[in-house]
Structures are given as structure tokens and as C-alpha cells.
Structure 1
Amino acid sequence: MPLFFILVPLLVLSVFAKDWVHYSGQNEVRDAVLTDNGTLWAAFAWGLAERISNKTENIYMPGNNNLQAADFVQLYALPNGDIIAVSKNGTLVRKNKNSRNFETINASFVEIKRNVRQGLGKRAENILVLPLEGAIAFFNYEQNRSVITLSQLGTNSLEEYPIKRIAVKDNSIWVELDAAIWKREISWAEIYNDRFLADPNSWNKVNEIPFAEESKPSYTANFLNTYLKRAKEISVLGSDVIIWGVEKDDVEYDFFVRIRNNEWGSYFLANPTGYYDDQKDVFSKSLALMPDGNFASGRWGAGLLTFDNGFPKTQLKQWFHSTKNTCPTKFKNENTNGYTLVQGLTASPDFSGYLFSYVSQDNYGIGFLNGNSDSPQCIKPTEASSPYAYSIIAREKNEEWEIYVAWKNIMEAKDGGVDFYKTSSKNFSPVLQKKWSLPFGSPIDFGFDKQGILWAVSSSKIFYLDEKDDEWKEPSYIRSFNGGVISALETDAKNGLWIGILGDGAYLFSQTNNSPDSLVAKHFKTKDGLLNEVVYDIAIDTIRGKVYFAHDLGFSIYSTALVRGDYIKSSSPKTIVYPTPFRPNLHSFLTIDFISEKSSVYILDSSGKRVRIFRGNDLQGGRVVWDGKNESGKLVAPGLYHYIAADGKNTNKGKIIIER
């Protein structure tokens, strides 16, 4: 039986954010202090909490109140009621008691790349003592500048012996290490005149700290934003968001959660089959969502799983595995005994089912599961470049599906290439057209931009397919990109490319003059509102103008017009309708896609009578979503219907088939 976790949010943590909304279940209190005016502050991975004496609770996260940091590990209460918070990487922020906003007062410690040790810091008059990994720093908060950073006390290197405790009383400071306790007299008001402060021998070894550690004030979080502690993959379509994540308590759960129309459903196991696998430890893009809310997941071991569109509870529908099916087939080597490895997965271009690739003996396989079928179709092309297939993407062109499959030379390697297939959209029978062995590494993610150009990323490179020259190319010019370990690629309705980086946030790339050969990057980090910079995946809702980031603290949503679709020009893809046929008792809605935002869209019955009309905000992103109801709010009868989309200059027409 599937295991469900019921989510009962008590307080949304990011209600103050204008452009950013964050969700994180990492509610461990890292530090807590009480100010002179009775305000209790607590530091968290996701931000800061303020509990005023009248019990009012304020939550601060990146993207609101000018807070440009997260991952806080240290708090200092100042005599005037102000607060200074220090992030793990060494960013110092200050909030005046009379201000709603934070100010970043110092980021110089970030550059030395020594993390701040949690909750050990002390304030001595106007000096903050910061314990670092391998060092101890002194910071003047009145002048907002560092005084000195020391890496050795007496005969002990702080690289070798970490700081365990810091104590301050009057003009004395004690620093306890694993090896010894060191003491020094410091006149805090005259610290800049202390000529021997940098001399390790000016510290004296003592036997003990003559007083006990002061206890921290107790802070119990009375809110729950989500149980989600780390999100690995996100898929967005229509009103549904599917998140694959990991919940870490004493046990690490591999699970999904669905959000529909901004409401959270129940958590459910991502692999309820009982067949153990290693998907939570694997990095791949193997989640596909349909317009009706059904979705599928590829697994490293458990094969291919499909789930229904239930809400708030979602159930496993189908499980395809080599122990119970002939498709997909198993893979066996010295480390894997019969695992079914489905690591490439995408919706078919017409949303009639799922296309997937799988690792297999000798040659990888490609499969198609029709949404109305109980069994997939699989082939193992004899011309396949490798046994190891991963990411997959497809589009429809001239009534054919064009399928691109990424492969690796060996399972553990990064090098590989792309194989290109074509098949009739009516009869799944892929035929190899082209092979590329790439110097950039095997693609980990694909995306078609608004112009129809196919982009790909490896773990270190960004490249695209130049169809005219029939070769993959890197852009000749990329500005403002720092590189890093690439994790994800997504394209938006404005021809932008979004790239996720493990440890350095995300980038939005714009094409200069719509040329793929020249890119300009905009960087998104914690200082720009992103909650966490270890980004695993990115998904985009072009209708509502939202970018979803899966990261190490949960996930974040960025609302921006940068990704919202404009009206569709005549050079854009032809108008499509999906799913077809439309079954209102099975599908949540029907989508008419690639139409002008300036249009009026009419739904007509077979006699030509108007059933429904859409215009204005109904067409944001160049698509219409119809629930199958007429203007009176009643479901229409089964049969043949027509749509007409007209913008005053152009008219698009098409058929809609409704079945029960």
C-alpha cells in the first residue's frame, strides 16, 4: 500500500516575499539570542525568525526585507536592540530594531572560504568574535570592518585543532580547542593599537575557563512550512506541480508531493513497489507530467512507474520492470544484478503518452507507453551508440516525432554523445538518422528554445545543435558566466535559457539578436533572492510567469515577466490541442496551445453554436485551458467540437473530440 504523509502547514514562511516564495522543512534552530528589549531571534538554514515580546512572529527569507543571505549559523544581539546574523559562508547582515529591512554590512569573510562554526561566537563591547573553520576572526561592528583573522593560537594551529568554545569576560578572552585552552587580555576599545595581537605567542595556555557557558535562550518553532527538506526534480504543467524530494530525519524518504492550484496534496512514496533501488542517489531527469495530471517516473532499479492524477492523494497506476514485463529489459553487470534502469523520460510531443530510454545489455533501448495502454512498446536499436542511455527529448515535425537520446560511453563516465531518431507519430518505430560523439560530454538535460533550436548541457558545457551545419556547437561568446557544475536546463517563452548550478545558484541566458552563438548571463544567487545555491532542477510555468528551483533546502518559486509567454507569431509552432480525445471524467482539462495572446478563442459545437469564449487573461502564455464546461458551468456532451482563434489578422481553426 502507498504510504502517505499528510501536510498541515501552520504558517507559510515566505508571506512577505514579493517576487520569491520559498518552501523548506529544515527547521533546526542553529542559534538563538534575546535582545535587550525582549525580542527572541532564531537562526535557521532558510533564514531568520523574530518573536517579539507580544508573541508576534516575523519570518525573514531571501528575496524579502532586503535580506541577501541565508544558511545562518550565528546571531549577535547588540546593546541597542539591533541584531547581527552571520551566514555559514561569512556574510554579515544587520537589522535595526526600528527598520523592516536588513543591511548587508560585510561579505569579506566569504572570500577567504572558511565556514563560520555554528553558535560559538561572542560579542565583546564593539567587537564580534567569529569562530571559523581553521581560524578565529575579530570584527568591529560599529565600523563594519574586520580587525584581524588568526589561524594559530600559541603552539596550536586552528586548522588542526577546531574551536570548541569561546568565552569573553571584561577584557579577557578564552578559546578552547581540542588540544588546549588559550587565554589573552585584549582592550577591546583599543584593539587596533594591540601590536602583538597577531603574534600566536601572545596567547597563554591555561587549564580551564573559570566559569560555565551561558545557556542559549530556548526557541521552539511553532510553524511548519513543509516537510520537504531537499527537492531533486520538479515538473510543472497547467495547474499541477510535481516535486520529487528527500525528507531527512532518522530515515531518508524518497517521495513525491503534488501541488494543484497552489494547494498541497499528500506526500506519497516515489517507489511504492517494494523493489529497492538507488534513484535517490542518482542524478537524472526522469519525471514527466501530462496535462491531465497523470505522470511517470523513471527509476534506477525499479524501472518505469506511472501515477494517477488523484488529489490530494495520488496512487501508483502501473509498474513496468524486467521481473514482471519484457519491456523495459534489465541491465546486469558486476555491480548491478538485474536492475531496470530508466533514466530518460519525457512526454510525447502530442501528450498521448511517455517516451523513455533505458540502459540495457549491448544496446540501450527506447520505449513508448501510450496513455491508454497497459504495456509499453520497446526497441533496442542495433545501431545504438552505447548500452547506456540517459536524457531524452522529442518534438513533432511533419507528422513525425524527432527523438534525441543522450548516451555515455561507460556508466560512470561523463563523455558520450547524442543519437537522433525519427518515427511516425501514428506508429512507434524509431529509425536512427544520425549519431554524434560530442567533445562537450554527454548531455544531462535538453531543451528546445522558442526558435526551435535544440540546446543541451553536460556537467560543464552549454551547447546547441546547428541543424544547418549538422553539428553541435558551443556559443562563441558567453558573457558573465562563472562556470561550475551544471545540473539542469530549462527554456522559457521569451527565448531564454535557464541553467542550474550545483553550488552557485542559477543563470538566465539571453541570446544576443536571437543568435545562439552569443549569450549574456544574469546570475541568481542567495543575494538575489534564491534560498539555496545548490540547484538540482528548474521548471517554468510560462502562463503564470513562475520559475521553480529545486535545491538543497527545498524549493523556491520566482515570479517574473521574464518567462511569461508573449502572443505567438506566425513563425512559431502550429496550434495543437491535447489531450485528444478529451475525456472530462479522466482529464482535468484540455489545452489549446500556441495561439496569439491577442486572440479571442471560441469553442463551438457541431452545429456552430457557441459553447465558450476565452480572451484577455485567459490566453496568458499563448494557450487556453478548458475544463470541458459551457458558459453555464455544466459539462458539455460527448461529440465533435470546433475551436476558432482569431486576432483580427489571422484565424486558426481546429477540431476537438470529447468522449466519456
Structure 2
Amino acid sequence: MLLWAAYVGAYDKWGAFSDPFPIHDVTPFANGVLLATDGGLRFRSIYENVVYHSEHGLETSRFHSVVSSNNAVYAVSEYGLVAVFADGSIPWRIINRSYVKNNVRAVPHGTVMSGHIMTIAFEDRLAFFDAFQGRSLLTIDRIGSRSLSITPVRELLIRGDSLYAKMDKETYVRKMDWANLASDKRLSDPNSWSLVPAGTVVEGFDEPVKKVTVDSQVLTDEQLYHDDGSSKVKWQVKTADGTYLVGSEYVFFNKTGEKTVTDLTGFNGYSPGEVYEVKATPEGGVLAMSVDGKLSYGSIGGWGEPHYAYSTLSNGPNGYSARMKTLSYLPDGSMFYHIWGFVYLMYSKWGAHLEYDFKAEDNHCFDKYLPNYAISVATIAAPDNSGFLTSTGKNPNYGVVYFTKDGEVHCANGIGSNPVPGVMHSKIDEDGKWVVYIANKDGTALASEGGLDVITFPSPKANGGELVNGQVKYYGGMNPAPVDMVYDPVGDRLWLVTMSSLAYLDEEADTIMTPASTNGMLGAEFTSIDVDSHGNLWVGTTNQGVYRLTPKNGSPDTLKILHFTTKDGLLDNNVADLAIDPVVGAAWFAHEKGVSYYRRNDLKDAHKNMTDSAEVKVHAYPVPFRPKTQAFLTIDGIAEKSTVSIYNRGGALIKYFRNEEVAGGKVEWNGREDSGKLVTPGVYYYVVKKGSKVKKGKFIIAH
């Protein structure tokens, strides 16, 4: 574990907060156990509690098996990626990717190991893998008379030189020469397996545990059992300190000689749960909403305790199926949220206090999709921050609703172009009118056809708070309808994503346009979009991770693409939502098993740096800087589009930074000249220039 601690102490741009369940497999690891889960590889002992994710070299966070052999631990992912943790790994190293291309799941708890040979059960085959050489020896798709694509192996067991393969109703066995398996000419012969006679008990296969017994002693601690008396435990792992008792959702520890157990199920801090929506906050970090109705706050430093937004009501599957974006806030900490079908909620103090609830069954003016059943896909802040806006579905036309911070409700009923409204954006135009952009569709299905309404209202302040005299302009023909939108202030452009396409509103041409070139984004199903302070678009997908799109020379028609997946550090390639945090300089991603984030300098908004309102002054750290032991000297607080020059004590220019090197308001220097030579110790000076503004400082380099 010291190796892992040293690794994560270095600067790492990726991170995650996950829900490390269910547990699919367990093996001894260091002084505890390693657990294969859908939320990463979790190390648990009575002393330590750590989860390894994609960013730790694993390239994925969904694992189905773990096995130990010869001072090394191996893990097999959901689709057969093989990773090892051994001396020299930092901390995990991928040793085989060949099985992943088959797109077939590995069987949970379906890997066994003898010597250096791993046997991996997939849903349609059995694979023999040489862990020392990091290569597959052979895969077979039949055992005896059975085709494994029809009758898959459910569990494997090694006893001596025999390999047992258990199916649903029968078990086969084969003698194995593990040390010389590569030369076994009959390994591919299905008839080399023997059917175990029916009724034969093969000790070692997992059997339902009725009473938890450790060292012949039945443990009666009620923590180990469900209310119906069934056991929570599936596996036992003995260590020098005691026995770990593990189930799909539980981890317990029984100290040798004692009858009670310690519950180790919980994780340090908290997990955001199954997240479908994330929203960046003005102070940095994000708010996350989970499908079970829990709201929580997290930052790169940790995650807060989730709590129910309203009783136990939740958006459940609607959060995903409708691509809901109903969490919104005002700068003063007022928050708004909608629970599909039932209620609109207004909070103060960033969700800590419920101020108002607006139930569908009460006599409010907003439209209802069914009697006492109101649906909204999105909520947003009113453009003057006086309250919140949403749109409510109704046949044949949706309505728009304005909720003031004082709890008043004002409606423009039946104004929309379709029954079901979607995501929203608003602004105040040069005449002081409210312009509200609302995606819409002709049904509740994601694939429904729809378009975009642009509705202009006179300011409610001039009409007693009412939304009246709305003028609607409709852009139709979008099939499927938009699922998310974002306004890019750099390009002064509204962007939209449907399930299958990216588009933008060209108000001069009075039409919805599709970029001419989006090479590299074929076949993706889109879920979400946001924009950073430099005008880069970030797009989430259901199966291909995240794309960053940069308009070339400011043109929306040709986009330069960067692609990020679990191989880069993303927790999961299924991204339900994303949010750009310009305060910390991070992109946040919502997943079924939690959230992940990606820090990079150019995500930080530095437009206020070197101004009178700047919160951070130009400064350098660490001082003194020791380039032999410290990665970078950072000069922070600089303005966008600045230049940074570093001089030695004699006035000679040593290093020069500009353009992308200063994006995000800081530069990082490794203490070397352009030639790669380490500079000599001494006093150095930096000069930051942007136009007529100049900031100077000095620092010391020590070896």
C-alpha cells in the first residue's frame, strides 16, 4: 500500500467517487481483501479502505473477478481486461486487452488460477491465459456435449490437478497439466472433459450459506443475517488477524477467537450513488442528484453526505429515460428541483432548507400532463435571477411557468409547439425582454421528433409578475428531439445535442445547422453538453465516454475533437450528465456508479485575473523550488492571453510561455531550459505581461 500512496501523491488529473458495489469476487490482498465491484477494485482491511478506479492504471472500473498467485494479484474486468498488481506496478498494470474486442462479459467470480495459468469463464467461452507472459493460450467454446454460448459456465474450481466447470444443471471436470498447458494438444478437444455424475458433491463450489461458521464455530451476530434469517455472507477469507466475511453488498470481519463481527461495509466519506445530473456551483465543486432522490455536494477534496431532496420521492428511471436536467440555482444559494409527476421544490442555503413545495395535486396554474401529474424535463434560473423557470407538459401544447423566490407561481399555459417540453436556456435581450429557449417533442420517448421554441416575453416586472404576450418562434424537423443545450458566450451561439446529432442555432440564417465536420464522433448516443470558458464544447455519451469539441478558427462547422474514455481515467464510458467547473478547473461526469472528474489548466476561468476584482494575485509556488524532488514551479493568478518570461539573475531569458501554455491562469515549469538541461540554483525572476499590464516577482531554485 505504500506504493499506492506514493503514486497518488503525485499530480493526477483524473479522480472519482464511486459506489463500490455489488461485490462480484474476493481474494486475499496485503493484510486484507481485494473486492471486484462495478465501482472499482476495493481494498478493505481493518486498517485501510481504498478504491482503485480507471485513473489508477486500470482503464475501467467494472471488475468481475480477482485472483492471487505468487505475490501478485490479478483482476479481470467485465469484458476481460486483465490487470496485475505486483512489485513495480504503479499501482496497476494492464497485461492483456485481447479479450475485450469480443465484447462478451466475463462471468462474475469466474476466474481461477494455478501457478501462472489463469482460466477465465466468459458467457460464451472458456479462456486459458498465461499471466507470466501476458498472453492468451487458447479459448474453447465447447465442453463435452455442451456449447458454451448456449450453456455457459457459471463457476470454476481447481482441486489439485483437476479443473471443474459448473453449469446450471451439470458439472464437467478435466485433468490439467498446469505447468505444461501450452503443449497440451487435447486442450481444445471438448471430449477430453468428463461429466461429473449427477448428485456428486464437489466441495469448494459456492453454496448458499445458511449459518456462518468460522473455525467450526457458528456466528450468531445478527449483523450477518437478513431479517428473514438468510445469510449476507457468500465468501470467507482467512488472514493472520481473523476472517473476512463478504457478500455481494457487505464486508464483515471476525477476529480470531471472537463471536462478534465488525461491519466494514461502509466506505471512508460518502458516495454520491447512481447519479443522473450534476451541476457546477459558483464556489467550485458540484451538486449531484441520484436516481433514488438524494442530493449531495462534492469537490475534488471529498464528497459530502447525500440526503433526500424531498421525503423519499425520487425520479427513479425517469432521471435517465427523460434526460432530466431539473436541478438549478441562483447566486444567493436558492435552489429549485422537480420530481417527475409530483412536485416542484424551492430551497434556500444550497438545499439545506426547503422553502416551498408546489405539488401537482394542489391548485396551481401550471399545466399537467395527466390529472394531478405534472412533468418537466428541465428547470433554469430566471434570466434576472428573480426566481426560476420551467416548462410543463400537456396535450397538445406545453406551458411555461415562472416561480418567484417569494413562492408566487405565474404561468403561460399552452404556449409551446409540442406536448412535451425539454431542456431550456434563457437570456435578457437588448430591450429588456426575456428570451426563453425550450426544446420540445411530440411524445415522452427519447426518440420522439421535436424541435426548438424561442419564446419572447415582456419582462414580468412590467406586468405584475405575469408571463404574458409571449411570442413563439418554432424551429422544427429535429428527429430525434434535443436532449440538452448550452449557450457558448465565446462564440455567441446556442448548441444542442439530440440522441444522435450535434447542432447549433444560426439566428442570422434563421435555422438550425449541423456542423459540416465532426470526424471521430460516429455512432455515439449523446446525453449531455456543456461549454468551458474557452468555448470548447464537452459532450457526454451513453457508451463512448466524453468528447471535447473545439471550433476551428471560431467556426461552428469544423470542430477539432478530443476523446476521453475509461482508458484515460473516466469512471465509466456511460456518462449520464456532465458539468464544467471553471472555479476549480475541472470537468465532472455523472455515472451509474458515482462521479468522476478531470482537472486540466485550461478548464479554469482566468478572465478576471490581473484585474481589480481578482481574488488571486500573481504568485509563484513552491518557493524555494527544488526541481530534483518537486515536479513543477507554478506561477498562478495570471490573465488569459498573457505571456510569461523567466529570467536568471543576470537578466538572460531562460523560459518563455504563451498561448495554450498559459491557459487557465497559470503556467507550470519543470526547472529546465528548452534544451532539457536543469538550470543552476539561484534567484530567478518572472515577468507576466498582458497588454499594458505587467506583474513581476522572484523565486529561488535550490538543488
**TM-score normalised by structure 1 residue count:** 0.78
Q: Distance in 2 between matches of 1:161 and 1:376?
A: 60
Which residue is equivalent to 1:61? 53
Shift of 1:329: 2.2
Q: Which of 175, 183, 202 matches 2:165?
A: 175
Greater CA drift, 199-208 or 544-553:
199-208
Which residue is equivalent to 2:67? 76
Which residue is equivalent to 2:609? 597
1:378 aligns with 2:371: no
Which residue is equivalent to 2:144? 154
The verdict on how the C-alpha distance between 1:273 and 1:19 changes in structure 2, with shifts beyond 3 A counting, is: closer
Shift of 1:110: 1.0
Shift of 1:104: 0.9
The verdict on how the C-alpha distance between 1:274 and 1:100 changes in structure 2, with shifts beyond 3 A counting, is: closer
1:257 aligns with 2:304: no
The verdict on how the C-alpha distance between 1:119 and 1:430 changes in structure 2, with shifts beyond 3 A counting, is: farther
- Do 2:314 and 2:339's aligned partners in 1 also have CA atoms closer than 8 Å? no
- Do 1:532 and 1:551's aligned partners in 2 also have CA atoms closer than 8 Å? yes
Q: Which of 328, 339, 358 matches 2:366?
A: 328
Equivalent residues in 2 for 1:400-549 (5 A)? 400-412=433-445, 413-425=447-459, 426-427=461-462, 428-429=467-468, 431-449=470-488, 450-549=490-589
Which residue is equivalent to 2:599? 559
The verdict on how the C-alpha distance between 1:57 and 1:262 changes in structure 2, with shifts beyond 3 A counting, is: closer
SS of match in other structure, 2:191: helix
C-alpha root-mean-square deviation of aligned residues, in Å?
3.1
SS of match in other structure, 1:257: strand
Q: Distance in 1 between matches of 2:302 and 2:74?
A: 35
Q: Which of 31, 43, 60 matches 2:36?
A: 43
Equivalent residues in 2 for 1:342-381 (5 A)? 342-371=376-405, 373-381=406-414
Shift of 1:484: 2.2
The one-letter code matched in structure 2 to 1:600 is D
Size of the aligned set, in residue pairs, is 559
SS of match in other structure, 2:535: coil
Q: Which of 87, 93, 108 matches 1:118?
A: 108
- Do 1:299 and 1:343's aligned partners in 2 also have CA atoms closer than 8 Å? no
Which residue is equivalent to 1:241? 286
The verdict on how the C-alpha distance between 1:479 and 1:307 changes in structure 2, with shifts beyond 3 A counting, is: same
Shift of 1:279: 4.6
Shift of 1:358: 0.9
Which residue is equivalent to 2:83? 93
- Do 1:140 and 1:147's aligned partners in 2 also have CA atoms closer than 8 Å? yes
Shift of 1:122: 0.8
Shift of 1:379: 0.5
- Do 2:346 and 2:357's aligned partners in 1 also have CA atoms closer than 8 Å? yes
SS of match in other structure, 1:189: helix
Deviations 1:524-546 (A, max 9, x none): 22121111222111111112211
- Do 1:121 and 1:129's aligned partners in 2 also have CA atoms closer than 8 Å? yes
Shift of 1:23: 1.5
The one-letter code matched in structure 1 to 2:568 is D
- Do 1:547 and 1:557's aligned partners in 2 also have CA atoms closer than 8 Å? yes
Q: Distance in 2 between matches of 1:506 and 1:75?
A: 28
The verdict on how the C-alpha distance between 1:321 and 1:57 changes in structure 2, with shifts beyond 3 A counting, is: closer
Shift of 1:514: 1.7
The verdict on how the C-alpha distance between 1:279 and 1:296 changes in structure 2, with shifts beyond 3 A counting, is: farther
The verdict on how the C-alpha distance between 1:378 and 1:344 changes in structure 2, with shifts beyond 3 A counting, is: same
- Do 1:460 and 1:486's aligned partners in 2 also have CA atoms closer than 8 Å? yes
Deviations 1:293-323 (A, max 9, x none): 111012321242111116xx71221122342
Shift of 1:109: 1.1
Q: Distance in 2 between matches of 1:129 and 1:44?
A: 19
Q: Distance in 2 between matches of 1:102 and 1:257?
A: 30
Deviations 1:7-33 (A, max 9, x none): xxxx9x988772223212334433222
Q: Distance in 1 between matches of 2:333 and 2:638?
A: 20
Which residue is equivalent to 1:26? 20
Q: Distance in 1 between matches of 2:99 and 2:400?
A: 50
Q: Distance in 1 between matches of 2:185 and 2:303?
A: 60
1:392 aligns with 2:419: no
Equivalent residues in 2 for 1:203-214 (5 A)? 203-207=193-197, 208=200, 210-213=202-205
1:197 aligns with 2:209: no
Q: Distance in 1 between matches of 2:425 and 2:469?
A: 13
Q: Which of 329, 333, 346 matches 1:306?
A: 346
Greater CA drift, 482-491 or 457-466:
482-491
SS of match in other structure, 2:482: coil
1:226 aligns with 2:275: no
SS of match in other structure, 1:229: coil
The verdict on how the C-alpha distance between 1:38 and 1:91 changes in structure 2, with shifts beyond 3 A counting, is: same
SS of match in other structure, 2:182: helix
Q: Distance in 1 between matches of 2:609 and 2:515?
A: 32
Which residue is equivalent to 1:590? none
Shift of 1:264: 5.4
Deviations 1:62-83 (A, max 9, x none): 223x33221112112121x111
**TM-score normalised by structure 2 residue count:** 0.73
Shift of 1:269: 2.2
Q: Distance in 1 between matches of 2:87 and 2:468?
A: 68
Shift of 1:485: 2.0
Consecutive unaligned residues in structure 2, runs of 5 or more: 207-234, 238-243, 252-263, 619-635, 642-689, 694-703
Which residue is equivalent to 2:213? none
The verdict on how the C-alpha distance between 1:200 and 1:444 changes in structure 2, with shifts beyond 3 A counting, is: same
The verdict on how the C-alpha distance between 1:649 and 1:38 changes in structure 2, with shifts beyond 3 A counting, is: closer
1:188 aligns with 2:227: no
Q: Distance in 2 between matches of 1:491 and 1:308?
A: 27
SS of match in other structure, 1:301: coil
SS of match in other structure, 2:99: helix
The verdict on how the C-alpha distance between 1:314 and 1:77 changes in structure 2, with shifts beyond 3 A counting, is: same
Consecutive unaligned residues in structure 1, runs of 5 or more: 1-10, 247-252, 568-595, 603-612, 623-646, 651-660
Shift of 1:170: 4.0
- Do 2:497 and 2:503's aligned partners in 1 also have CA atoms closer than 8 Å? yes
- Do 2:286 and 2:588's aligned partners in 1 also have CA atoms closer than 8 Å? no
- Do 1:421 and 1:430's aligned partners in 2 also have CA atoms closer than 8 Å? no
Q: Percent identity?
A: 25
Q: Which of 341, 358, 361 matches 2:375?
A: 341
- Do 1:128 and 1:141's aligned partners in 2 also have CA atoms closer than 8 Å? yes
